[in-house]
Structure 1
Amino acid sequence: MWLLLPILAYTVIFVFVRHIYSYWRRKGFPSESPSLSLHFLAQVYRREFRHVDAISDAYQMGRDRLFGIYCFFRPVLLVRNLELARSILEQSYGHFSECKWDYVKGYRRINLLERLTPIFNSSRLSAMFNNAQHVANHMMQHLLDKAEQGQVQLDMQQLLRVFAVNIIGNLIYGLDVNNFEQSDHILNNFVKRPVQCCGLQSFTLRNVPQKSSLAYRLLDIIKRNVALREMGGIIRKDILQLLVLFRNGNDLSGDKWSAENAYEDDKLLSIQRLAKVAEDLLHSALDSIASTLTLTLYEIVQQPLIVEKLQVEIKELDLVHGQLQFEQLEELRYMDMCLRETLRKYPPLPIIERICRKTFKLPNTKFSIEEGKTLMVPLLAIQRDEKYFGEPLKYKPLRFLHDKSEKTSEQRRTALVGFGLGSAQCVAQNFAKMVIKLALVKLLHNYHLELDADSNVEVSHLPAPFITSKDGLKMQLKAREIVTQSNYRKNSF
């Protein structure tokens, strides 16, 4: 009798697991053959399993536009064709949008992602640029203090994460903070290396909400600064000021910065919700800005010719006392190509992952994806596919200058995603590009950079790209002798 109980239990578990791992076959989708190897289990046990790498391997396995895979007990539909992915995410009418950006106020349902987009248009960013440059000057002063001997060696990844945190503190939280000097500030908690999820958590618990241990302290900062702006009439040209405008029902598309305060019951956002928006922006912007900046420097310092071209392009801007103007960012054409190549090789969001909120017929296919099932677009794998980019592991900014065939040019334009696509596109990408270009101009204008000869750099995705080597990105900086005249022609790339 007692022997039958474990047999019955094992039978139920076996049938349950077999039912899950036959999901895509039963629905008629092309799919992988599920297997569970000892090597895989050992990787998970040793915390060596890489979620992003596993998805990239699955992309290589399939040949169809849609490919069913399994993330432990979770059926996931992998979209291998970028045009189809664009169609799904742009024409799904909210079927795959993130719930965290939906907000209900009274009888109104607000999609914050759409309503906050005007915060990052050119006129708003131009007004914020002086504050951003003030933060960049803090970084340069910090390097100047360390370089009194004429040369300095440091972990650039750590430096640039502090810079990114300072930018976020100043423009999103409204704090005049300089974490190069204030080592005990709350935002310094975000400078540390991101915590990598283990394989089990990456595959099974990615959508479980996790409460930040710092959320309540960040909420207090938001409460204090919002009160100062609403009651004291303080106006500061930053993102927080625009969030206060939106909270009070003001139009964000104009040039107005002063808020017309509404009664508490009429405000579109509660303080708690505004603080959550700020925290979401902090997490997404920090990794995007810091990783793109770090990996751009890592790639270009290995090719002195690229650094030389960038420095000559910066000289052509004719900076006044080393200060950059917002309009001059558009003139950095070669730097823009370098950023596009970095975003191709190291997308800040290597995988777009969305849960279907209602059964949806996939466009131009015979298939439908059911409510609750996960859809993935493997951006990293697509942007490193030789079908779109020749020699994908090489850093070649000039691949975006021109193409011999119109077909190749269109393929590359379509395949390069960078900051996401469709409903998963980052609304703050122009803000991130502005900050990244500003930091690169400051560093390349003032210093020669050289990668430490003993560095053994390894890039992993956690999930954002991050240098996991012991010393980070170790570089030597040597002050440059600024040349004011150049015979270099702007178009001679």
Structure 2
Amino acid sequence: MLMQKESTLEFFKNFYQRFEGHPYGGYMSVWEPTFLVREPALIKQILIKDFSHFHDRGVVVDEKNDPLTAHLFNLSGQRWHFLRNKLSPTFTSGKMRYMFPLVKKCTEDFHKAITAEISKNGNEIEVKDMNARYTTDVIGTTAFGVDVGSLFKPDAEMRMIGRKIFELTTLEAFKMFVFFLAPGVAKYFKFRIVEPYVEKYFIKVVSDTIEYRQGKNITRNDFLQLLMNLKNSNATENGSKDELDINQLCAQAFVFFIGGFETSATTLTFCLYELARHPDIQKKMAEEIDQVLEKHNGELTYESLSEMPYMDRVISETLRLYPAVPILFRECTKEYRIKREEFPDPLMPTNRKEDIVIEKGVKVLLPIVGLHYDPKYYPHPEKFDPDRFTEEAKSQRPPFTFLPFGEGPRICIGMRFGNMQTKAGLVALLSNFEIRPGKKTANPIVLDPKLFVPAVKDGVYLQFIPRKKQN
């Protein structure tokens, strides 16, 4: 994987299978020992019951040389806890409902942009870039109060920055893998993950916006405003006066941007790809959308999104096959003991009865993609089948076998937001178009080995046929 011969998703799916029959195992990641967990009940203990032993990800944060890495996803200990508590109110249902009109405007632009592209270049469209332009516009307006307009201007600066972050050179991809898989190595060699150009852009955007709002006495109910309020409060949870500086605020804005536009764009892309390949599923989903919109007088509303259970199942199955984050890491922050009699290894010699001890500092790998493709939990795992996520089907699987957003106190903070913009984007497309496979898309698709998140190497081309609405 470090040599970019295999994608992260494929590598860890296969790696998980090499431990078949064992509830856990170990391996060396470059030179760092790592404990791999396959047993869902033990994963639950690590993520929830015994979270106090595993609250950190073990990622290197170098605020001096790479300040934008000091964001919520990477931070550890008290600083993570403080920021998590302060930022969580941004993602309540009430805040999502308030932001939804801005999202809805972007979905209308999404439809117009697809229609314009069909008129200009024909109905076969590369959807990954188009989806990323849509989600970039959503993040720009809901998080920063910026009208990005990349759906109509593909070379808009914020969209270009997004491309720069995820279109990596061979060296940049290598450094990214080392950063997550062997952080000790990254720290030793002082690897820089965020390019200076990207860092300069985000610091300028955030600084200029804050200065403008303060100068004009403008208040918006968005993510950046919450960060401004957090900075102005100038108090941490333990009561000290440890002010958040502009770089720390920019780091939080940075992770909201990259997490908000890329993961949702990826989910949208794979979802549309599978819907194009399964016209029966697409038809059922389009009918559900039509029925719900009719109930709401033809209007897409925040409430209407919660009335589309089949869409929820389709998205869940997409995230099972293509989890935006294929693996999770935790770092053991204090010695942890696993009782062998509670979690026995059936392939271990019977005379091995001592407990397993995970030492402080050892990394723990939770192989999400391996669980998602395990035939014990998902028969015929390569098949796209949304009915795996009916309430009855879910009740028959062990908990913690579906973890696209993680779980426990460090569950993805933007999960509700990402789901909202993904569903809204799907409504905009499926209510207006029938989607078919394009001629330029490889079959089967080939995943890009340069990215930590799943992405199709040469893009996904789909045909958009305007739907004939029945009166």
The answer, yes or no, to whether TM exceeds 0.5 is yes
Alignment of 1:167 onto 2:154 = no
Alignment of 1:155 onto 2:126 = yes
Q: Say whether the 8 Å CA contact 1:249–1:267 is kept in structure 2.
A: no
Cα distance between partner residues in 2 of 1:266 and 1:175: 31
- Residue matched to 1:475: 462
Cα distance between partner residues in 2 of 1:275 and 1:323: 36
- 1:427-469 Cα deviation digits (max 9, x unpaired): 1100000000000000001111111145212234622110113
SS of 2:123's partner is: strand
List aligned pairs for 1:72-471, cutoff 5 A. Answer: 72-90=30-48, 91-93=50-52, 95-98=54-57, 100=70, 101=72, 102=75, 110-148=81-119, 152-189=123-160, 190-191=162-163, 194-195=167-168, 201=175, 204-206=178-180, 207=183, 208=186, 210-213=193-196, 214-249=198-233, 269-318=244-293, 323-362=299-338, 366-403=355-392, 409-411=395-397, 413-456=399-442, 457-460=445-448, 462-469=451-458
2:427 counterpart letter in structure 1: V
- Residue matched to 1:68: 26
Q: Say whether the 8 Å CA contact 2:91–2:414 is kept in structure 1.
A: yes
- Same amino acid, percent of matched pairs: 24
SS of 2:464's partner is: strand
Q: Max radius of gyration: which structure?
A: 1
Cα distance between partner residues in 2 of 1:202 and 1:51: 12
Cα distance between partner residues in 2 of 1:391 and 1:109: 39
2:117 counterpart letter in structure 1: K
TM-score for the superposition, normalised by structure 2:
0.81
- 1:20-79 Cα deviation digits (max 9, x unpaired): xxxxxxxxxxxxxxxxxxxxxxx866x414444333333212222220112232221111
When residues 479 and 412 of structure 1 are mapped into structure 2, their CA distance, relative to the original with a 3 A threshold, is farther
TM-score for the superposition, normalised by structure 1:
0.78
Taking only aligned residues, the RMSD between alpha carbons, in angstroms, comes to: 2.9
Structure 1 residue 412 displacement after superposition = 5.4
- 1:306-351 Cα deviation digits (max 9, x unpaired): 1111111111123578641101111011000101111111111101
Cα distance between partner residues in 1 of 2:44 and 2:169: 29
Q: Say whether the 8 Å CA contact 1:103–1:111 is kept in structure 2.
A: no
2:273 counterpart letter in structure 1: Y
Cα distance between partner residues in 2 of 1:104 and 1:305: 48
When residues 187 and 80 of structure 1 are mapped into structure 2, their CA distance, relative to the original with a 3 A threshold, is same
Identify unmatched segments of 5+ residues in structure 2: 60-69, 187-191, 344-354
Q: Say whether the 8 Å CA contact 2:264–2:422 is kept in structure 1.
A: yes
SS of 2:392's partner is: coil
Cα distance between partner residues in 2 of 1:230 and 1:362: 53
SS of 2:44's partner is: helix
Q: Say whether the 8 Å CA contact 1:357–1:372 is kept in structure 2.
A: yes
Cα distance between partner residues in 1 of 2:334 and 2:376: 33
More deviation, 156-165/368-377: 368-377
Identify unmatched segments of 5+ residues in structure 1: 1-42, 252-264, 485-493
Structure 1 residue 83 displacement after superposition = 2.0
Cα distance between partner residues in 1 of 2:15 and 2:282: 36
Q: Say whether the 8 Å CA contact 1:150–1:479 is kept in structure 2.
A: no
1:242 counterpart letter in structure 2: L
Cα distance between partner residues in 2 of 1:250 and 1:133: 35
Q: Say whether the 8 Å CA contact 2:323–2:454 is kept in structure 1.
A: yes
Structure 1 residue 477 displacement after superposition = 1.1
More deviation, 69-78/375-384: 69-78
When residues 94 and 127 of structure 1 are mapped into structure 2, their CA distance, relative to the original with a 3 A threshold, is farther
SS of 2:400's partner is: helix
